[in-house]
Amino acid sequence: MPDRSAAPRVFLAPGLLLVLIAVGGRFTLDRAGFTGLGWVDLRVVGLIVALVLLIVDISRRPRTATGRDETWLVVTLLFFLFQIASALWAPPAARIGAQTLDMILLGALTLAFYHWTLGDPDRAIRYTFLLFYVTAIVFGLAAIFINGPGEQGRYSAFGGGPNVFVRIELLGVISAIALTLIHRRLVPLLATPLLLLAALLSGSRGALMAGAVVGGYALWKIRGRLKPGPVLAAGAFLVVAAIVVWFTAPPAFTSLFQERFVEQTVQEQYMSNRTDIWAAALKLGWEHPIGGAGLDGFYGSIGINQMIEYPHNYVLAVVAEGGLIGLGLLTVAVILWARTVRGGGARPQAVGLAVSAAVFVALSSLFSGDYYDARLAWIFAAMAAAAAVAQARTAPAAAPAREREAVGR
């Protein structure tokens, strides 16, 4: 057998910084009260430090002469570069400076997570899920006990929006399941009622539906391995937790459920004007079919007059601002990525968990958020791909060891 102890363990510090950058969102020092330093973007500072640590980490790793299929990553970076280049034909009102920085950081985060995970996929993915699990608990407690409801009665934490907040909470649920499967202990599941409650209090219907789709598909995939006892116990635990929360929660909780999910969604079928926004994005794409309206072209052409920041749908934003070229690059990147992660390589469980997280955020991005808000989807997609191809990366190193064992026998 190959001597795994000879390879140095991956640094955890770059992963911690990268997760903090990914979770923190757009954070400049003026949000912390330093108005004179509002131009300092902590994402850039943190990413520079993380990349330095990552380079040191990569330099410690044993060199291998093996290749791996990274075509999906090349196409993804070409897609990001095209989006940046489309700023050349964006309308004058487009916010190309801020959007270009977002795209550069998005590409850098994707690359950094990919290469960090390659060092030790099992440890990197396990550590990342642990960080998201702890983060989701902290955000959930802060939203309920510190920040409270916003103007619309929806909950979020640390100045972020409800649509990003709900992704962190549901990623916390996925992380709890991942940690349970990895460590074979049920303790991480104890926090799921808090995380689910916080997700519901966000009032984000699209993300909740995306979470239900991913969760339902996961249960269907493992239906043959489910045992009645644990399933009934988990169901009873959630039902009891829901009853306790419902009867002990303050009026603000129950009124949000009644107004947001019953009255607006079921009775009024209200979709926050999403259909009108999506129709406007499609029309803009139709008017600029080849290269789109350019980076942030939706806001520069339509949103600035109607006070709409973005199309609230990742694919339609690409159609409107990138045209057929942008949509084609995105489609090819997704197809190549799906081919890369299919089967999971030597780590089907780790790859499958990372894929679930990526797909959840991707589906959520069809209802809300801009390009940078979808960063968690690209991050988990990169980690899943790295874990899937890591087998080819280590196989040649194992071959000499097997040959030595054969000679010894």
Distances (CA, A) of 224 to 47, 152, 173, 352, 359: 43, 43, 22, 17, 23
Please tell me which of 1-15, 98-112, 269-283, 381-395 the model is most confident about, judged by mean pLDDT.
98-112
pLDDT of 4: 45
Residue 292: which of 240, 250, 332, 327 has the closest Cα? Answer: 327
Q: What percent of the chain is helix, strand and coil (3-state, nearest 5)? A: 75, 0, 25
pLDDT one-digit tens code per residue, 343-384: 888 889 999 999 999 999 999 999 988 999 999 999 999 999
Q: What is the mean pLDDT of the chain?
A: 84
pLDDT one-digit tens code per residue, 224-267: 665 666 667 667 766 776 676 666 666 666 666 666 655 555 44
Other Cβ atoms within 10 Å of 400 Cβ, number: 10
Other Cβ atoms within 10 Å of 24 Cβ, number: 14
pLDDT of 263: 55
Rounded Cα gap, residues 259 and 68, in angstroms = 51
**Contact status, residue 320 vs residue 285, Cβ threshold 8 Å:** yes
pLDDT one-digit tens code per residue, 266-282: 444 455 678 889 999 99
Percent of the chain with pLDDT over 90: 53
pLDDT of 398: 42
Please, is 218 exposed, middle or buried when counting C-beta atoms within 10 Å of its C-beta (0-12, 13-18, 19+)?
Answer: middle
Confidence of residue 222 (pLDDT cuts 50, 70, 90): low
Q: Work out the widest C-alpha separation in the chain, in whole angstroms.
A: 78
pLDDT of 404: 43
